[in-house]
Amino acid sequence: MQDLEAAAAADLIRGHRLNLIRRGADGSLVMSTDGWHLIEATDEAITLKADPPAPPETPPTLIVLAEVERITWDRLAKQQARSQVRFHLKSGDLLTFSGRLPDPS
């Protein structure tokens, strides 16, 4: 597992179609069936939107960086092409975006 700065995480996921898994601090687990892509990265937030065929009213996922404790990248041992960028929120929630991402530089 490698720690990332927000700008490096945004650069890593930019241009890639991603899967999203939301793991709540309460033990909940939600895996989105939509593909997601980065639409904006600022000093305050990272915003991702679901790709079609997700309904157009599907709200974007806004990650407020002040609410993020840590951002990490990793590749699971059995995965050669896919890796994950994880946003560890101060609330205890975890947002995992996975896809065919390059290794961070």
Condensed to tens digits (0 to 9), the pLDDT of residues 13-70 reads: 999 999 999 999 999 999 888 899 999 999 999 999 999 888 888 899 999 999 999 9
What tokens were used for 13? 């996921």
Has residue 86 been placed in a domain?
A: yes
> Per the domain annotation, does 105 fall within a domain?
no
The answer to whether 48 touches 28, Cβ cutoff 8 Å, is no
Domain assignment present for residue 104? The answer is no
- Please say if the pLDDT value at position 80 is more than 90: no
Q: 93 in a domain, yes or no?
A: yes
Three-state DSSP class for 92?
coil
* CA distances to 39, 44, 58, 78 from 48, in Å: 5, 14, 11, 27
* Total count of domains within the chain: 1
Instruction: Report the CATH number that the domain containing residue 90 is assigned in CATH.
Output: 2.30.29
DSSP-derived secondary structure for 30-81: EE-SS-EEEEEE-SSEEEEEEPTTS-TTPPPEEEEGGGEEEEEEE--TT-SS
Tell me the pLDDT tens digit for each residue of 81-93: 789 999 999 999 9
